[in-house]
A and B are shown apart, each in its own frame.
Chain A
Amino acid sequence: MTITNPSTAEVLLSVRDLHAGFTTDDGYVSAVDGISFDVHRGEVFAVVGESGSGKSVTAMTILDLIPTVEVSGGEIIWKGRDLLTLSDEERRKVRGGEIAMIFQDPLTALNPVHTVGRQIGEMARIHEGLNKKQALERAVEMLDLVGIPEPRKRSKMYPHEFSGGMRQRAMIAMAITCKPDLLIADEPTTALDVTVQAQVLEVLIDIKDEIDSAIILITHDLGVVAGLADQVMVMYAGRQVEMGTTSEVFYESRHPYTLGLLASLPRLDDMGDQPLVPITGSPPSLIRRPSGCAFHPRCRFARVPGLCDQEVPALRLVTGDAHRAACHYAETLADMTVERLRADADEAELVAAEEVPER
């Protein structure tokens, strides 16, 4: 893993105050509400959040992949150009050639009627104008690069003749064929066997270093994030709630949601008998967002009534020079750790259990 210094590496992608959503029969769904972040060359930028937190929509909007998404504000600056102002044709050229996407489910993301080699080669034919034979050669090369044994033979096979892990490798091969500067990986290992996940991630990181690109890693797997990411952005209900380097976000969390996520996860190095603490409730509707901080109805630390249900907290600097959190009481969380949260929760549960018979 390369450690990059955000301040010196080239800024590839800069998203500024992005607003996007869909119009549905029930009303406007504000899926992405004022997101800003920078991705630097060489880094792994992780986007974390529950289903419906807007992380996939953010990625899809960068690539202009969902026709029904309406972008209502903001900029997506890619190498100095605002992607949102480009024509469809220009955006199409950025897709695949400069920014490539790796999909979640390799079982469905490969076309069943074309051979794997042809699908990988097609990228090179479209973006680099190679002929059929050169393209097939390139496909073999790419399959070799992602660690598929006997790439020449494999390139003539159809996706259904590949195992899940091999298909995801083939997907990665396809995405990197034109050496893109940015890879967007939308939950690249979710559909895979746990034993294969690590291998695929390793391939992904090796490739990133090999072609000197950056990765936006969209995931809800915090374990994956901890091991690979340089920067982390935590999203909740379409907004950023915390962002910073991985160690800042993981070890100096200043947002109750991040703490909640961490406390709900078992850890291998945590052999104590502390219970896992779930985040109660369910994610809010994006059509009728809770007032104030969208997380306040589920927050352990919310002061209601008060600031929490009245004012939307701004994303502000909390520690270091780039660690930001959107919580009115971020400072009070300075001495809150996952262990303490778990201990507190345990105690509260005991109290609650004792109270029940009295009711």
Chain B
Amino acid sequence: MTVVDNQGPSSELEASEPGMGDVADLAAARPLRKDVWKRFKRNRLAMVGLGIIIVLVLCAIFAPLIAPYDITDRDSGHFREGPSGDHWFGTDTVGLDVFSRVVFGARVSLKIGIAATSIALLIGLLLGATAGYFGGILDTLIMRITDIFLAIPYIVLAVAIASVLGRSENTVILVLGFTGWLGICRIVRSSFLSLKQLEYVEAARALGYSTRRVMFRHILPNALQPIIVYGTIAIGSVILSEAALSFLGVGPTYPTPAWGLMVADAKGVMSVAPHMLFFPGMAIFITVLAFVFVGDGLRDALDPKLK
């Protein structure tokens, strides 16, 4: 039966949600969870991506242990020096150790990536679920709001918000969170539109369950696959946008070790100190790629029929 494959991952995801699956659920779901992992493991790029993300997370957690210098430790007399034994990635214009800042930068990027994506997921999920489930005027209204947001360039919005709130990581999180929910809203809406017509949703209503319960306990777990995939890739693209905003001078300020900010600092001295651009630039590139690989891998593992 082909349905099994389709059901496996969702039950796995659902059961892995804290507080939702109990011990019995987990026990029964194990073989299905194994299936997904087995398919994921077979995808080499996805495994490479996963490895990179694990390294990133470790960097973020243990940054003070890994980085040889503090992010504000100036090494007087060593400005814009290329990679050396003392400074693996070289030093920047004011003598800061680029390697240490790249390591600490993982914290900034992951924090912004995860926080902004969470906000976007939450908004997109609530609006998309409402639009898809209730339909009618609510649906029209929400979809028109989505259209309006699509028409606002997020960079202009970012500059506007930053001028009010000031430049900080939180500004970037808010901007990217409040502009990033459009895609997820559409995905959730279309899932709800099709899922709400299924008999088990009707059955849930016939059993007297509240609308909220039907929406979030009975429909949502069945709609999680695309959300998980989209969310993973979204973290990558948020990190990229964060770099762009930092580069434009809307994001966090010195001494925050944001990769985008470091690239911006390097732009004037590219010819004399290319390492200042290369290392943070590579960090952004590899991180974004890793999240995209993992997202793709998850999609294939969760829904093998797509291949």
Residues of chain A touching chain B, judged by Cβ–Cβ distance below 8 Å, are 63, 65, 92-97, 100-101, 103-105, 108-115, 117-118, 122-123, 126-127, 132, 136, 155-158, 160, 171, 174-175
Contacts and interface: CB of A to CB of B under 8 A. Distances in A.
B222 interface: yes
Given A126-B213, A127-B208, A160-B4, A110 B202 contact: no
Given A108-B200, A109-B200, A111-B200, A65 B205 contact: yes
Contact of A95 (B1, B205, B222): B205
A115 B25 contact: yes
Contacts of A123: 207
Question: Which 9 pairs across A and B sit closest by C-beta, in order of nearness?
Answer: A96-B208, A95-B208, A96-B207, A101-B206, A108-B199, A112-B7, A113-B221, A109-B199, A109-B203
A289 B262 CA distance: 76
25 contacts: A63-B206, A93-B208, A95-B205, A95-B208, A96-B208, A100-B206, A101-B203, A101-B207, A111-B222, A112-B10, A112-B11, A113-B7, A115-B28, A122-B217, A123-B207, A126-B207, A126-B208, A126-B213, A136-B24, A156-B27, A157-B28, A158-B28, A158-B29, A160-B4, A174-B203
A100 B207 CA distance: 6
Nearest to B9: A113
B81 interface: no
Contacts of A115: 24-25, 28
Contacts of B11: 112-114, 158
A118 B209 CA distance: 14
B206 A65 contact: yes
Nearest to B200: A111
A114 B200 CA distance: 11
Contacts of A127: 208
Nearest to A104: B199
Interface of B: 1, 3-4, 6-7, 10-11, 14, 22, 24-25, 27-29, 198-200, 202-210, 213, 217-218, 221-222
A93 B207 CA distance: 9
B206 A132 contact: no
B25 A111 contact: no
Q: Name the residue in A65, A92, A114, A171 with the highest tally of chain B Cβ atoms < 10 Å from its Cβ.
A: A114
B132 to A, nearest CB: 14
Q: Name the residue in B25, B208, B210, B217 with the highest tally of chain A Cβ atoms < 10 Å from its Cβ.
A: B208
A122 B204 CA distance: 10
Contact of B218 (A100, A111, A171, A175): A111
A155 B25 CA distance: 10
B277 to A, nearest CB: 47
Q: Name the residue in B11, B22, B200 with the highest tally of chain A Cβ atoms < 10 Å from its Cβ.
A: B200
B208 A103 contact: no
Q: Name the residue in A97, A105, A160, A174 with the highest tally of chain B Cβ atoms < 10 Å from its Cβ.
A: A160
Contacts of B222: 111-113
Contacts of A132: 22
Contacts of A155: 24
Q: Name the residue in A110, A113, A157 with the highest tally of chain B Cβ atoms < 10 Å from its Cβ.
A: A113
B139 to A, nearest CB: 13
A111 B222 CA distance: 8
A156 B14 contact: no
A117 B24 CA distance: 10
B106 to A, nearest CB: 34
Given A109-B200, A114-B221, A132-B22, A156 B206 contact: no
Contacts of A113: 7, 10-11, 14, 221-222
Contacts of A110: 200, 203
A109 B3 CA distance: 14
A110 B199 CA distance: 8
Contacts of B14: 113-114
Given A93-B208, A95-B206, A103 B199 contact: yes
A203 to B, nearest CB: 18
A170 B210 CA distance: 21
A97 B24 CA distance: 26
B198 A108 contact: yes
Contacts of A174: 203, 207
Contact of B24 (A63, A92, A93, A156): A156
Given A103-B206, A114-B218, 7 more contacts: A95-B207, A105-B199, A111-B222, A118-B24, A156-B27, A160-B3, A174-B203
Contacts of B205: 65, 95
A64 to B, nearest CB: 9
Contacts of B209: 92, 96, 122, 126
Given A96-B208, A103-B206, A127-B208, A156 B221 contact: no
Given A113-B222, A114-B221, A103 B22 contact: no
Contacts of B217: 122
Nearest to A152: B24
Contacts of A97: 208
Contacts of A65: 202, 205-206
A127 B207 CA distance: 9
Nearest to A117: B24
Given A136-B24, A158-B28, A111 B206 contact: no
B281 to A, nearest CB: 42
B115 to A, nearest CB: 28
B4 A111 contact: no
A83 to B, nearest CB: 13
A160 B208 contact: no
A75 to B, nearest CB: 21
A218 B10 CA distance: 33
Contacts of B204: 111
